[in-house]
Amino acid sequence: MASKQGYGADLRKFMDLRVDLRLNAGRHVAGVLKGYDQFLNIVLDNAIEIKDGKEGAAQNNRELGTIVIRGNSIVMWENLDKVQ
């Protein structure tokens, strides 16, 4: 029987780069990737919660600092910095 574990994603090339994450329930955060594990739980530094679709959106953003996000809540991932 084949293993269900498979191979984990290799996010090393994204370490210390800015990423933009769309999460379930319509949440949107961005920050600097500082760590991750085999379940794609990630640690973001200098994270901000971005309030989408509102007038003066920059004023509605909320600084979160360092946060941990569960991998199963990530819907979409976008890199904001150039990967070396």
- Render pLDDT for 56-81 as a digit per residue (tens, 0 to 9): 556 689 999 999 999 999 999 999 98
Asked if residue 1 belongs to a domain, the reply is: no
The Cα–Cα gap between 33 and 1 comes to 35
State the DSSP code for 14: G
pLDDT of residue 64: 96
The reply to whether 10 falls in a domain is no
Domain carrying residue 59: 16-78
Neighbours of 58 (CB within 10 A): 9
Any residues with CB less than 8 A from the CB of 65 and at least 6 apart, and which? 45, 46, 47
* Domains in the chain, number: 1
Residue 47 lies in a domain: yes
Element (H, E) at 52: none
pTM over 0.95: no
Residue 4: per-residue pLDDT: 55
Residue 33 within a domain? yes
How would residue 28 be classed by pLDDT, with cut points 50, 70 and 90?
A: very high
Is 2 a domain residue?
no
Give the C-alpha separation, 22 to 27, whole Å.
Answer: 6
